[in-house]
Structure 1
Amino acid sequence: MCAPVHTGRLVGVVGPSGVGKDSVMRALAERHAGVRLVRRVITRAADARCEVFEPVSEHAFEVRVQARAFALHWGAHGLRYGVPVSVNEDVAAGHLCLVNLSRAVLADAQAMFPGFAVVHLTAPVDVLASRLAARGRESAEVIAARLARAGFALPEGLERVIEVENTRTVSETAAEVWDKLQPERAAR
């Protein structure tokens, strides 16, 4: 007797700050059944103007790290980010799980999740600068630092990378991402 084949998969969505990762992910989840958004845990205060996440203190985050409550975790921009281990259940249940990841953990995610794919969103620097300023979350110095990191390359050795420029409407970008994910989902 053959073991059941799960069609679930983790997809890491990456790109520079201001590229629209969370907006594109929300659009995909709203339009397609079976798509789940992974709710990250972040050492940042809650803010209704940005992504939905679980805000925690630095101490609470470290307690979860020690308890192995994260499938992945990393630090960036003075904050700590974690992907709860519950993502394993959603993937095992056959869901396409989208998560905003750091380039720093892509190789780890690929090693941990069979069929892992990366959606790399890009946009010109002037578009990124405008979006970052509009969200009003960071100072000019922080925005400048984020823009300086915008051109960093993805790590070597990633098996499935989908590149999409996000300069159109969110709906158009989400449709392109979905179309590019479909051949990969069908090939598995």
Structure 2
Amino acid sequence: MTERIGPGAFVAVVGASGVGKDALMAYARERSEAVAHFPRRVITRPSGPGEDHEPVTEEQFTAARERGELAVWWPAHGLRYGIPASADVAVGAGRVVVANVSRAVLDELAGRYQRLVVVRVTVSDEVRAQRLRARGREPEPGIGQRLARPDPAPGHQADTVIQNDGTLADGGDQLLRVILDAAGAPLATG
């Protein structure tokens, strides 16, 4: 068995499409850059509105994976997603890495990192449907399919659950607390 990477921590932000993971992470990133690393996901999707990611072709993704440039990867929604290997370097250097990942890779992450913190973001179905429609990435039938999709890792416990029906600051501050706790840093007040 390979030794797990540490002493830093990997904060895995999980939740269904439309629950606000990217918004919460952007909020927390602005307030925790000194202690946390937020790698850009590599996705086989062209750039466009929404998540800031590294757009690649299928061939580029496969080549990056084969060269060991991805710490972890997974298929979802007809695309492939990956977290750059810079995450391993940062965790190995004692930093906190925060990334939006699929719940399907949580066991793999637990085997890879000494300290895995799972943050599950949820939201009411009504708010989620509104967000998916506003995002404009898919037609109505696709939204219905996303809303009906079962949890791919129902047995994996979350360390923290953020009910993201409130303001961005409400949810963002909860995620920020998790990151700062993982880093052993105090929460600034004021």
Change (3 A) 1:82 1:167: same
Which residue of the partner structure matches residue 162 of structure 1?
160
- Write the distance in 1 (CA, Å) between the matches of 2:140 and 2:156: 34
Which residue of the partner structure matches residue 169 of structure 2?
171
* Structure 1 unaligned residues grouped into runs of 5+: 1-5
Change (3 A) 1:7 1:16: same
The structural deviation recorded for 1:93 is 2.5
Which residue of the partner structure matches residue 124 of structure 2?
124
- Trace 1:2-151 onto structure 2 (pairs within 5 A): 8-32=8-32, 33-47=34-48, 49-149=49-149
- Native 8 Å contact 1:8 1:92 kept in 2: yes
Normalised TM-score (structure 1)? 0.87
Indicate the larger mover: 35-44 or 173-182.
173-182
The structural deviation recorded for 1:180 is 4.4
- Native 8 Å contact 1:41 1:84 kept in 2: yes
- Write the distance in 1 (CA, Å) between the matches of 2:10 and 2:152: 21
* Structure 2 unaligned residues grouped into runs of 5+: 1-5, 185-190
Cα shift readout 1:76-123 (whole Å, capped 9, x = no counterpart): 000000111111111122222110100110100111011111110000
- CA root-mean-square deviation: 1.8
The structural deviation recorded for 1:161 is 2.0
Aligned residue pairs, count: 178
Change (3 A) 1:183 1:56: closer
Corresponding letter in the other structure for 1:51: E
- Native 8 Å contact 2:31 2:176 kept in 1: no
- Native 8 Å contact 1:28 1:35 kept in 2: no
The structural deviation recorded for 1:177 is 2.4
Percent of pairs identical after alignment? Answer: 38
- Write the distance in 1 (CA, Å) between the matches of 2:85 and 2:18: 27
Indicate the larger mover: 86-95 or 113-122.
86-95
- Write the distance in 1 (CA, Å) between the matches of 2:154 and 2:179: 20
Normalised TM-score (structure 2)? 0.86
Corresponding letter in the other structure for 2:35: G
- Write the distance in 2 (CA, Å) between the matches of 1:134 and 1:105: 28
- Write the distance in 1 (CA, Å) between the matches of 2:51 and 2:155: 28
- Native 8 Å contact 2:35 2:183 kept in 1: no
The structural deviation recorded for 1:65 is 1.9
- Write the distance in 1 (CA, Å) between the matches of 2:28 and 2:117: 15
